[in-house]
């Protein structure tokens, strides 16, 4: 963990104390709201510079910048790369770097004291909920960032270089107050080395997938398919990807609106029946239904299974378990006959939320930091150090060498083009999603047939619709 006390911050706190004594700052009354306090009156002096074409957000070139990073699955090294970019631009600014796993513990007291950092990666188990922060008036409106020219091509605004859907996800109460920076795609994964060795090619249609599975089963000791059975969320993503690609935009809109009639239609039926075929033909890795994500993914890394469904965090998660010549490769879920979306369509969405606190002294600097994160250099640095993609469209420099898995997601995302989808029902209807998890696990364990699955899921959808 990084230093918790750092001289610059102390000095600033002193300054505020003195200002408070002179009555320049309204001392925040003990107005402790739930979780985080509504801070002072916001009359603290902000560090701002003059806005110019090169400095569209009006950053004070010499103002210090205070960065707090969630030290989780992505580590915190990538943030040092961003800080280097910032320091290069603003040589006079002192940039401080604080990694932590306990965002609430670090942020809450500083918000209450009216002395928050300038940019925070509000993530992990201990994140402060964004709607709570917004209600307490603690978030800077980041619309100026969206309307600022982008670093790489000043003729384009920042909002125009983002992946579709990013701005929407960053909205709380109809205001763009948080930047979801990481872009995660989901689909299926295989070992490039294994496939090359046996002369297999990645299937694009479900029937190709089934015939390749048959060949794998017949000619090798490898199981065609593994999944993270203890957490049925993973297999649900795969089933719903099949369904959404089959039913198209219409299906997606209606499942997010919790329309129970979609479970009577073909898309859902085709998807679950396709998945059940894997079970029926005994293509599952023995024991996979009871395995944790780490157990199943590691078995897959040990060439015990050919395919596994997962999100793009897989490569970083399995970094230590993956053999160096494994050639981890991503592919979209294969297409079913009659699919409305093309075979290249994939699930993709933005997450990992960055904020600029309202009372940040150097709020302009915090936003400028985000603008740098959204440059190609920033996105490339993130892909290299955190092995994940960002919301910057085509953000990764093609000449830079990435890990094979991350590289393959870049290729797949490019091929998908506008055909990316991101269902939201999982967050909006958690009881429904849990019911589906349970039913899918039963199907995978061959204790439930597809018809019963459809019935169970529909019943749950009816209940969820009524409850909302």
Least distance from other proteins to the Cβ atom of residue 312, Å: 21
Task: Between 61 and 449, name the residue whose CB sits nearer to other proteins.
Answer: 449
Task: Between 140 and 288, name the residue whose CB sits nearer to other proteins.
Answer: 288
Q: Of these, 222, 321, 445, 459, which contacts other proteins (CB under 8 A)? A: 445
Task: Between 92 and 467, name the residue whose CB sits nearer to other proteins.
Answer: 467
The whole-angstrom separation of Cα 384 and Cα 399 is 12
Is 136 near other proteins (CB under 8 A)?
A: no
| Strand extents, DSSP E, 286-327 | 305-311
H or E element in which residue 401 lies:
none
Q: Of these, 4, 23, 29, 34, which contacts other proteins (CB under 8 A)? A: 34
For residues 45-81, one letter each, b for 16 or more C-beta atoms within 10 angstroms of the residue's C-beta and e for the rest, the string is: ebbebeeeeebbbbbbeebbbbbbbbbbebbbebbbb
Among 9-17, 38-46, 70-78, 430-438, which window interacts with other proteins (CB under 8 A)?
A: 430-438
Is 143 near other proteins (CB under 8 A)?
A: no
Please, which residues have CB within 8 angstroms of residue 4's CB and are 6 or more apart in sequence? 98, 106
- Residue 133 has, within 13 A of its CA and on its CB side, a CA count of 29
Number of residues that bind other proteins (CB under 8 A): 27
Is 442 near other proteins (CB under 8 A)?
A: yes
Task: Between 230 and 254, name the residue whose CB sits nearer to other proteins.
Answer: 230
328-331/65-70 β-pairing: unpaired
The whole-angstrom separation of Cα 376 and Cα 393 is 9
Burial class (CB in 10 A: 0-12, 13-18, 19+), 467: exposed
Contact 405, 328 (CB under 8 A): yes
Is 295 near other proteins (CB under 8 A)?
A: yes
Task: Between 59 and 172, name the residue whose CB sits nearer to other proteins.
Answer: 172
Residue 171 backbone dihedrals phi, psi, to 5 degrees: -85, 130
Is 430 near other proteins (CB under 8 A)?
A: yes
Least distance from other proteins to the Cβ atom of residue 137, Å: 16
**Any idea what the Cα angle at residue 243 is, between residues 455 and 236, rounded to 5°?**
70
Q: Of these, 118, 122, 273, 289, which contacts other proteins (CB under 8 A)? A: 289
Is 303 near other proteins (CB under 8 A)?
A: no
Q: Of these, 230, 403, 463, 465, which contacts other proteins (CB under 8 A)? A: 230
H or E element in which residue 289 lies:
none
Least distance from other proteins to the Cβ atom of residue 290, Å: 3
Is 41 near other proteins (CB under 8 A)?
A: no
What x-and-dash track marks residues 192-211 binding other proteins by CB under 8 A? --------------------
Positions touching other proteins (CB under 8 A) are 34, 229-233, 285-292, 295, 299, 430-431, 433-434, 437-439, 441-442, 445, 447
């Amino acid at each position: 963990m990084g230093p918790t006390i750092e001289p610059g911050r102390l000095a600033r706190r002193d300054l505020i104390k003195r200002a408070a004594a002179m009555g320049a700052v309204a001392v925040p009354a003990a107005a402790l709201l739930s979780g985080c306090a509504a801070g002072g009156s916001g009359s603290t002096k902000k560090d701002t510079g003059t806005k110019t074409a090169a400095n569209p957000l009006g950053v004070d070139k010499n103002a210090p910048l205070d960065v707090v990073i969630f030290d989780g699955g992505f580590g915190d090294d990538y943030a040092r790369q961003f800080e280097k970019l910032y320091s290069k631009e603003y040589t006079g600014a002192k940039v401080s770097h604080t990694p932590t796993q306990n965002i609430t513990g670090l942020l809450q007291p500083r918000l209450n004291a009216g002395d928050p950092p300038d940019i925070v990666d509000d993530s992990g188990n201990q994140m402060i909920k964004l709607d709570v922060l917004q209600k307490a008036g603690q978030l800077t409106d980041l619309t100026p960032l969206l309307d600022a020219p982008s670093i790489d091509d000043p003729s384009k605004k920042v909002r125009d270089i983002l992946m579709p859907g990013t701005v929407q996800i960053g909205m709380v109460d109809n205001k763009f107050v948080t930047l979801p920076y990481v872009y995660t795609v989901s689909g299926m994964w295989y070992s490039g080395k294994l496939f090359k060795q046996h002369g297999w090619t990645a299937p694009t249609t479900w029937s190709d997938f089934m015939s390749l599975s048959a060949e794998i089963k017949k000619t090798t000791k490898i199981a065609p398919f593994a999944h993270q059975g203890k957490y049925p969320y993973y297999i649900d993503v795969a089933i719903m990807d099949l369904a959404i690609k089959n039913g198209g935009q219409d299906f997606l809109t209606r499942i997010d609106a919790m329309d129970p009639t979609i479970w009577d239609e073909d898309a859902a039926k085709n998807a679950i029946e396709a998945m059940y075929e894997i079970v029926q033909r005994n293509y599952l890795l023995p024991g996979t239904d009871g395995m944790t994500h780490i157990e199943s993914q590691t078995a897959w890394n040990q060439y015990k299974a050919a395919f596994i469904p997962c999100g793009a965090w897989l490569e970083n998660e399995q970094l230590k378990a993956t053999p160096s010549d494994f050639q981890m490769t991503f592919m979209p879920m294969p297409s079913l006959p009659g699919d409305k979306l093309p075979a290249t369509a994939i699930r993709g969405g933005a997450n990992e939320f960055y904020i600029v606190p309202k009372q940040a002294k150097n709020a302009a600097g915090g936003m400028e930091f985000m603008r740098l994160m959204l440059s190609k250099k920033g996105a490339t640095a993130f892909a290299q150090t955190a092995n994940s993609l960002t919301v910057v469209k085509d953000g990764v420099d093609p000449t830079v060498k990435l890990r094979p898995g991350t590289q393959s997601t870049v290729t797949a995302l490019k091929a998908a083009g506008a055909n990316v989808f991101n269902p939201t029902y999982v967050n909006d209807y958690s009881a429904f999603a849990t019911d589906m998890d349970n039913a899918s696990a039963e199907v995978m364990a061959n204790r439930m047939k597809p018809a019963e699955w459809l019935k169970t899921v529909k019943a749950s959808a009816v209940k969820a619709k009524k409850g909302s």
